[in-house]
Amino acid sequence: MRNLPWCHPRPLVPSSKPSHDGDRRKQISVRGIAGLGDVAEVRKSFNRHLHFTLVKDRNVATPRDYYFALAHTVRDHLVGRWIRTQQHYYERDPKRIYYLSLEFYMGRTLQNTMVNLGLQNACDEAIYQLGLDLEELEEIEEDAGLGNGGLGRLAACFLDSMATLGLAAYGYGIRYEFGIFNQKIVDGWQVEEADDWLRYGNPWEKARPEYMLPVHFYGRVEHTPDGVKWVDTQVVLAMPYDTPVPGYKNNTVNTMRLWSAKAPNDFNLQEFNMGDYIEAVLDRNLAENISRVLYPNDNVRKNCYEKSFGADPYPIPMHAGHCQSARTETSKSVLQVAIQLNDTHPALSIPELMRILVDVEKVDWDKAWEITKKTCAYTNHTVLPEALERWPVSMFEKLLPRHLEIIYALNQMHLDRVAALYPGDIDRLRRMSVIEEGDCKRINMAHLCVIGSHAVNGVARIHSDIVRNSVFKDFYELEPEKFQNKTNGITPRRWLLLCNPGLADVIAEKIGEGFITDLSQLKKLLEFIDNETFIRDVAKVKQENKLKFAAYLEEQYKVKINPTSMFDVQVKRIHEYKRQLLNCLHAITLYNRIRCNPSKSFVPRTIMIGGKAAPGYHMAKMIIKLITSVGEVINNDPYVGDKLKVIFLENYRVSLAEKVIPAADLSQQISTAGTEASGTGNMKFMVNGALTIGTMDGANVEMAEEAGEENLFIFGMRVEDVEALDRKGLVYNAREYYESLPELRQAIDQISSGFFSPRDPGCFKDVVNMLMYHDRFKVFADYEAYIKCQGQVDQLFMDPREWTRKVIRNIACSGKFSSDRTITEYAREIWGVEPSATAIPPPNLPRN
C-alpha cells in the first residue's frame, strides 16, 4: 500500500507512524485523546464490521474494505447522538432552519467526523495497531462532489457551523447520482469523466423510503367553489436520504436530507397498458433522470439553457421536485420555520409554499403571503448577468401550471403596489416585474425571490453594496430594510484543524484550543508576532506542508518541483472574470525575463493553477489549454531550470484543496473589481498562512481591512475605476495597453504567433481576440499594476522572517472569516434564533 504523506501531523517523525514517545503534540487534545479503552473499542468495532458488515477476513480484505470497516466504526459513534439530537428537537420544539440548496459540496466525511467527535487519535492508534495506515484509508473515500465551487462549499461549511452552534437546522438538497465531473487533462485539454461516486456504496447516508413523498408535474388547474385544484398530474416520487452532520464536540448531530427521484411503480403503465410493459419500465429512467447529474455550471447558466432549450427543459423538474419535497415539514408549523434560499436555484419554494398554504391548507391568500415572506429569505451570490436565472414561461405553462398562476398573481400584487407608489413610472414597472416580456417571455427568478422574502443578503460587504446600488436598486428603494449583508465564512474545523493539523497545533500551544469554536481568538497570536520560536514554528509547518505536497505531486503526476520555491497558487473554477489569464501573463512575463537575463538571480516560483471549466464554456477550456501549453514550454526550457515552473493541478476538488492550500505561500485572488461576490478560497488561504495578492473585490476588501492593507498585496482597479472605464465615451481600449507595455505586447505576440503551441500556431486566436477586442473583464488594464505588485511579493519572499511575520499577522486577523460568525449573524438578523452554547447530553446506548 502506498504511504501518503499528509493529513496527519507527525512532521517531526519521518516514518509518519504514530509516535508513542511523549511527543509534545500528544499533550494537545485537538484531535482527541486516545485513551487505551477507546483504542481497544475502535479495534474491536473495526474487526466486527470487517466480519459482519463487509463479510471479509484479513486474508481477502482490500484496502477499500478496510476503509468501509473504519467508516462504519466511526459512523456508529454518530448514531446515538443523531437520534438523541432529533429527539431533543422534538421535545423542545425550537424554530427549525431549512437551508435549501441545489448544491452541497461536502468532500470527504470520514476524517471530518473523527475530528468533530474527537476520535481521530483513537482511530489513528487503533488502525496503526492493526498494521494499517489511517491516511491511506482516508484517501480511498470518494469526495461527495455535489457542488460546483464556492456556493456549494459554502452550504457545506454552513451545515458544520449550524450543528456546532446547536441550531435545529436541516440542509435540503438533491442526491445527484453523479456529482461534479472528474477532470482529466489529455494533451493539455480538459476532458470530463462521469463521477460515479456511489459505485461502492455510501456508508454515511441512510435511505428513508418510509418518508417518500409525491411530487407533481404537468396536469391542469381547476378553479372550483371550494378552492383551486391541480389535477391529472404526473407523479414522481422523492426519496429522502439522510446524512448526519455532527457539530464540533457538542453531541449535536443534525441532518442533511438529499432527495432522489424515483418513478412510481405504476409509472406510464396506464399509457402503455396495451402490452408495452417493457417500454414502460424502461421509461422509468425519464422520471429518475431528475436527480441523475449535477449541472456543472458555476456562475454561468446561459450555456446550459441555450443547449437544453427545446426538448429537455432541464432544471425545472429538479428544482420543482426539490421545493415540493421540502414542503411537508415546513408547512406544518410555518412560523416556527425559517427557509434560507441559497441563490435563486430553489426559488420555486416561494410559489410552492403559497400553493400548499392556499390550495391545501386553505389559508387566506393575504395571510399566506405574509407567512411566506416571513418564512423565506434569499441570498444573492452573483451580479454577473449571465448567471442570473431567467426561466422561459413556456416551460412553466406545461410543467407547473399552478405555480405559474401563483407567480402571475404575486407579480400583479407587487406591481400594483409599485404603481401606487410611483404613479406613471411605466419604465420602473417594467424593470421591476417578475415577468419579463419580449419574444421569449421569462420569469426573473431573482425578482421572485426578492418579493417573496423578508430578507435579501449579499455575501460580502462590497457585494451587498452593489446589490443595493445596482442589480436590485429599484427593490432597495421600495424596501430598504429588507437588504442585508452576511459576509461569507469557512469552517475552521475542516479548513484548519483537519487540513493543517501542524498549524493548528502550533497555534494551540500558544493560545489554547478556544479558537476552534471562536476563531476571533486568533487575535491573541498578535502577541507572538516577534516571538522567534513561534515565527520559526510557523515557518517550519509551512515548509513541512510544502514538502508533503511536493511529494504528492511527484507520486501522483511524476512532476518534480522545487520545494523551496514560492508556491504561488490560484485554485478555483476557471472563469474569465476570475482572470486566470492575468496570472498566465505574469508567468509568461517572468519566463521572458529569465530568458532575457539567465544569469540574474530570480526568486524561484512554482505557479500552480487548478480548476474545472464548465464543459460548454469554450473560453474557459481554452484558458486551461493555454496554461498547460505555457507550462509545457517553460517547464522544459533548460535556461529556466527550477527558477520557474507552471503546473496545472488536475481535478481540483475539496480533497485536493485540503492538500494544496496548507502548502501555499501565495494566494491569488485577482478577479476584476466588482465581479467576485465574496470568494471563500481567499479565506481558506489566509487562515492557512498564505499571503494574498488580490484586487479590492469580494471579501478581499474585508480581509485587507482586518489585517491592514499593507499586509496583503493589493493592486489594480477599484470598483470605481472599473465603472469609470465603463462609462460612455471612456471605453476600455485593450490595444492602448498592448501598445504601451512592451512586456505585455511580447507575451501576447508569443501567444498569438504559436510560440506556446508550435504544432497548432493558431490555437489561441480566440483567446487573443477576446483579450484585444472584447474583454469584459479588462485583463490588460490591471497588467502593469499586477506585475509590479508581484515584484513586491518577490522582494518580501527573499526575507523569510518578515514574510512569516506577515503570515502570522494574517492568520491572527482571519478570525472574522469563520462561518460560525456568518451563521451567528444569519441566526440573529434573519432567522430570529439564538445559537445555543449548551451541548446536548451525551447519548445513551440502546436499551436491550
Ligand X SMILES: *Cc1c(COP(=O)(O)O)cnc(C)c1O
Nearer to ligand X, 72 or 572 (CB): 572
Applying CB under 6 A, does 150 fall inside the site for ligand X? yes
Nearer to ligand X, 670 or 840 (CB): 670
**Grid coordinates given for 625:** 489549454
Active site includes 778?
A: no
Nearer to ligand X, 8 or 572 (CB): 572
Residue 268 per-residue DSSP state: T
Catalytic residue, candidates 262, 463, 684, 805: 684
The answer to whether the CB of 50 falls within 8 A of the CB of 69 is yes
Q: x/- contact string, 103-142, with ligand X (CB under 6 A)?
A: ----------------------------------------
Looking from the CA of 45 toward its CB, the CA atoms found within 13 Å total 19
**Grid coordinates given for 132:** 494499517
Applying CB under 6 A, does 701 fall inside the site for ligand X? no
Identify the CA nearest to 564 among candidates 824, 803, 217, 301: 803
Nearer to ligand X, 150 or 689 (CB): 150
Give 836-840's long-range contacts (Cβ < 8 A, gap of 24+).
836/165, 836/166, 836/167, 837/166, 838/166, 839/166, 839/249, 839/250, 839/251, 839/252, 840/81, 840/84, 840/85, 840/88, 840/166, 840/250, 840/251, 840/252
> Which residues, numbered 43-102, are part of the site for ligand X (CB under 6 A)?
none
Catalytic residue, candidates 84, 390, 578, 621: 578
Question: Rounded distance, CA 345 to CA 367, Å?
Answer: 25
User: Closest distance between ligand X and the C-beta of residue 657, in Å?
Assistant: 4
Question: Rounded distance, CA 78 to CA 72, Å?
Answer: 10
> Which residues, numbered 624-663, are part of the site for ligand X (CB under 6 A)?
652-654, 657
Question: Rounded distance, CA 106 to CA 143, Å?
Answer: 7
Q: Please state the three-class secondary structure of 401-441 as a single string.
A: HHHHHHHHHHHHHHHHHHHHHCCCCHHHHHHHCCEECCCCC
Question: Residues in contact with ligand X, total (CB under 6 A)?
Answer: 12
H or E element, residue 745: helix 742-753
Identify the CA nearest to 749 among candidates 585, 616, 599, 624: 585
Nearer to ligand X, 262 or 586 (CB): 586
How much of the chain is helix, strand and coil, in % rounded to 5?
50, 15, 35
User: Closest distance between ligand X and the C-beta of residue 59, in Å?
Assistant: 38
User: Closest distance between ligand X and the C-beta of residue 558, in Å?
Assistant: 24
Applying CB under 6 A, does 575 fall inside the site for ligand X? no
Nearer to ligand X, 262 or 579 (CB): 579
Question: Rounded distance, CA 240 to CA 175, Å?
Answer: 8
Applying CB under 6 A, does 666 fall inside the site for ligand X? no
Question: Rounded distance, CA 673 to CA 723, Å?
Answer: 9
Question: Rounded distance, CA 263 to CA 265, Å?
Answer: 6
- Indicate which single residue of 11, 674, 679, 815 sits in contact with ligand X (rule: CB under 6 A): 679
The answer to whether the CB of 93 falls within 8 A of the CB of 77 is no
User: Closest distance between ligand X and the C-beta of residue 816, in Å?
Assistant: 16
Exposed, middle or buried, 409 (CB in 10 Å: 0-12/13-18/19+)? middle
Nearer to ligand X, 49 or 153 (CB): 153
Catalytic residue, candidates 8, 442, 573, 645: 573
Catalytic residue, candidates 73, 164, 680, 695: 680
At 484 the three-state DSSP class reads strand
**DSSP characters over 622-686:** HHHHHHHHHHHHHHT-TTTTTSEEEEEETT--HHHHHHHGGG-SEEEE-PPTTS-S--SHHHHHH
Sign of dihedral through CA atoms 775, 776, 782, 786? negative
Instruction: Specify which residues 435 forms β-bridges with.
Output: 443
- Indicate which single residue of 108, 548, 572, 579 sits in contact with ligand X (rule: CB under 6 A): 572
Distance (Å) of CA 772 to CA 154, 585, 627, 760, 781: 35, 14, 18, 20, 11
Q: Which stretch binds ligand X (CB under 6 A): 240-248, 342-350, 674-682, 761-769?
A: 674-682
Active site includes 572?
A: yes
User: Closest distance between ligand X and the C-beta of residue 105, in Å?
Assistant: 6
Question: Rounded distance, CA 162 to CA 177, Å?
Answer: 26
Active site includes 816?
A: no
Q: Which residue is nearest to ligand X (CB)?
A: 681
User: Closest distance between ligand X and the C-beta of residue 315, in Å?
Assistant: 21
Applying CB under 6 A, does 153 fall inside the site for ligand X? yes
Identify the CA nearest to 514 among candidates 529, 504, 503: 504
Q: Which stretch binds ligand X (CB under 6 A): 314-322, 390-398, 617-625, 673-681?
A: 673-681
Active site includes 355?
A: no
Residue 178 per-residue DSSP state: B
Nearer to ligand X, 504 or 571 (CB): 571
User: Closest distance between ligand X and the C-beta of residue 132, in Å?
Assistant: 28
Q: Rounded to a whole number, what is the largest CA-CA distance in the chain?
A: 89
Question: Rounded distance, CA 768 to CA 766, Å?
Answer: 6
**Grid coordinates given for 438:** 419580449
Catalytic residue, candidates 381, 442, 486, 586: 381
The answer to whether the CB of 314 falls within 8 A of the CB of 70 is no
> Which residues, numbered 494-533, are part of the site for ligand X (CB under 6 A)?
none
User: Closest distance between ligand X and the C-beta of residue 158, in Å?
Assistant: 13
- Indicate which single residue of 149, 179, 247, 317 sits in contact with ligand X (rule: CB under 6 A): 149
Question: Rounded distance, CA 588 to CA 747, Å?
Answer: 6
Nearer to ligand X, 625 or 684 (CB): 684
Catalytic residue, candidates 355, 447, 572, 643: 572
User: Closest distance between ligand X and the C-beta of residue 6, in Å?
Assistant: 16
Sign of dihedral through CA atoms 716, 721, 725, 729? negative
Active site residues: 381, 572-573, 578, 680, 684
What are the residues binding ligand X (CB under 6 A)?
149-150, 153, 572, 652-654, 657, 679-681, 684
